[in-house]
Chain A
């Protein structure tokens, strides 16, 4: 089995701060996009354990609304579907008696992990107002890429160790996956089970001759499998997965 994680890729990822931190107690910063340069506030967001914390710093005289007072649109944070988290409670926002959030304030949204999904993406909507006016509603995109979590390990199963296979493996490594390579002739259940995902590759139909027997012997595995193209349909049919048996 060939381990394919070029050193330059690891160095690049480490430099970029993208290698594995995971949903640990260590806070992880989210990217914040969509704030107009001239907006009278700054916004930073962190994932802290199972809490999304958004720190707002408002210029003097400006405020957000922590609740609906009939004035501007109150702050809302929505977790996007597909995230590895979901909200499990209301947004906690420090506000004064008028419902205003001013100065330096930290908003907190309690989260829980969900079985599916990756990363954390959220939309923060609000209006920022002073005594005379409200600026147009703003919507910020908050994101913690899944790549900040532990990079998934991928077992690439190919028909051979050709240049094409090397290209695919290098691509996966560049994208942060811990990648091992084997072939349909050699693949074993244990190595499939040991990876987060198995990528069962296939070239085009005409290039698949001679491997059908190996495909039929593909081991049953507990790992999720991405079945590709022609050989993928053969795998699905051989393993009696209700996905590829419907030709008429």
Chain B
């Protein structure tokens, strides 16, 4: 299966230049693993059928696992991330076989011309041409998966009745004080916990969020942001924190100052606490990214453009 692809972003340059690529498409009834869920390339979910294309000839009988596909969703919040094709995964919708982030391109198929179909060969050539122009692209470093992981446990339960995520994996990925708030470990209880807390979870800030047992990261709920009613990834919240930090008083001001320190990346935070001047300068340059550690930081697309201007 992994030698095939679907959901191709055919408008992208890698399918158009210098070679106009045309893949023969086999219209295929939607498979069971694709019945649920959405992905960037299938924002409304998959329809009753999908178009399957061959990147490689059928795999040899004496070989297996010809390619791997990446699983998207936990890192694709990076601005400029390009989802370009899904692999024919037996697991679920949303497994990427062609993707780009910054200077890195993932090619989830063979590069052996004996294995590749003619359209795939042309696509590979196009990819190399395309990537030549990405030397100034800004690659974002991964720190933690996004809060989407909380939703996955709920989705898996709805699809298959899977409970281990809700009963075991989620609580084990919370800091101890927030584990205590998660007492009703049923699907209904979990949904209620999410409704109250999901907008305020964060991770990636220090040792307390690093790997614990088999879990890659640990999440915390931001009591400050929750008390202020400011979901931590929204721009309105950032603006509210700045207002409170500069003109508020008492506990709200302290909460806002802690939020700013927690979410505005130190590399761009103002040295003089003049948030008004800082925001005037940075408003169009910054973006909130969870997979880098829940930061307001410079938008990698802006950095790329600025570098291109400097190179002229």
Partner of B70, one of A121, A152, A171, A243: A243
B42 part of interface (Cβ distance < 8 Å): no
A226 part of interface (Cβ distance < 8 Å): yes
B121 part of interface (Cβ distance < 8 Å): yes
Minimal Cβ-Cβ distance residue in A for B128: A197
Interface residues on B, range: 35 or more
Task: Please judge, given known A-B contacts A241-B141, A246-B70, whether A116 and B75 are in contact too, CB under 8 Å.
Answer: no
Task: Please judge, given known A-B contacts A119-B17, A197-B131, whether A233 and B12 are in contact too, CB under 8 Å.
Answer: no
Would A115 and B308 count as touching, CB distance under 8 A? yes
Q: Which residues of A contact B183 (CB under 8 A)?
A: none
B134 part of interface (Cβ distance < 8 Å): yes
Task: Please judge, given known A-B contacts A81-B11, A201-B111, A204-B63, whether A154 and B70 are in contact too, CB under 8 Å.
Answer: no
A91 part of interface (Cβ distance < 8 Å): no
Q: Which residues of B contact A181 (CB under 8 A)?
A: none
B66 part of interface (Cβ distance < 8 Å): yes
When chains A and B are docked, how far (Å) is the Cα of A239 from the Cα of B142? 9
When chains A and B are docked, how far (Å) is the Cα of A82 from the Cα of B13? 4
Q: Which residues of B contact A147 (CB under 8 A)?
A: 18
Would A227 and B107 count as touching, CB distance under 8 A? yes
By a beta-carbon cutoff of 8 Å, the part of chain A in contact with chain B is 80-84, 115-119, 121, 145-147, 152, 154, 164, 167-168, 171-172, 175, 177, 196-197, 199, 201, 203-206, 222-230, 232-233, 236, 239-248
Task: Please judge, given known A-B contacts A152-B129, A168-B111, A246-B70, whether A119 and B65 are in contact too, CB under 8 Å.
Answer: no
Bits for B111-125, please: 1 = Cβ < 8 Å to A, else 0.
111100000010001
Shortest Cβ distance from A112 into chain B, in angstroms?
A: 10
* Number of A-B residue pairs having CB atoms within 8 Å of each other in the complex: 181
Instruction: Give the dominant DSSP class at B's interface.
Output: loop
Which of B31-39, B98-106, B274-282 makes up part of the contact surface? Answer: B98-106
Q: Which residues of A contact B128 (CB under 8 A)?
A: 152, 154, 172, 177, 197, 199, 226
Q: Which residues of A contact B269 (CB under 8 A)?
A: none
Shortest Cβ distance from B298 into chain A, in angstroms?
A: 15
**Which 6 A-B pairs rank lowest in CB-CB distance, beginning with the nearest?**
A82-B13, A246-B74, A242-B142, A146-B18, A224-B131, A242-B75
